[in-house]
A and B are shown apart, each in its own frame.
Chain A
Amino acid sequence: KAGVTQTPRYLIKTRGQQVTLSCSPISGHRSVSWYQQTPGQGLQFLFEYFSETQRNKGNFPGRFSGRQFSNSRSEMNVSTLELGDSALYLCASSASGGYNEQFFGPGTRLTVL
Chain B
Amino acid sequence: ELKVEQNPLFLSMQEGKNYTIYCNYSTTSDRLYWYRQDPGKSLESLFVLLSNGAVKQEGRLMASLDTKARLSTLHITAAVHDLSATYFCAVDIGTNAGKSTFGDGTTLTVKP
Contact = CB atoms under 8 A, between A and B. Distances in A.
A105 B42 contact: yes
Interface string B42-83: 111100101000000000000000000000000000000000
A97 B94 CA distance: 12
Interface residues of A, number: 28
A99 B99 contact: no
- Residue of B100, B103, B105 contacting most chain A CB atoms (<10 Å): B100
Interface residues of B, number: 24
Contacts of B45: 101-104
Contact of A102 (B41, B98, B101): B98
A56 interface: yes
Interface stretch (A12-20, A43-51, A77-85): A43-51
A61 interface: no
Contact of B99 (A45, A96, A101): A45
Nearest to A107: B42
A56 B31 CA distance: 17
Nearest to A46: B99
B42 A56 contact: no
A43 B92 CA distance: 14
13 contacts: A31-B98, A32-B98, A33-B100, A35-B102, A43-B88, A50-B98, A56-B99, A97-B97, A98-B31, A103-B45, A104-B44, A104-B45, A107-B42
Interface of A: 31-33, 35, 42-45, 48, 50, 55-56, 58, 90, 92, 94, 96-107
Given A56-B98, A102-B100, 9 more contacts: A32-B98, A33-B98, A55-B97, A58-B99, A90-B43, A94-B97, A98-B92, A106-B41, A106-B42
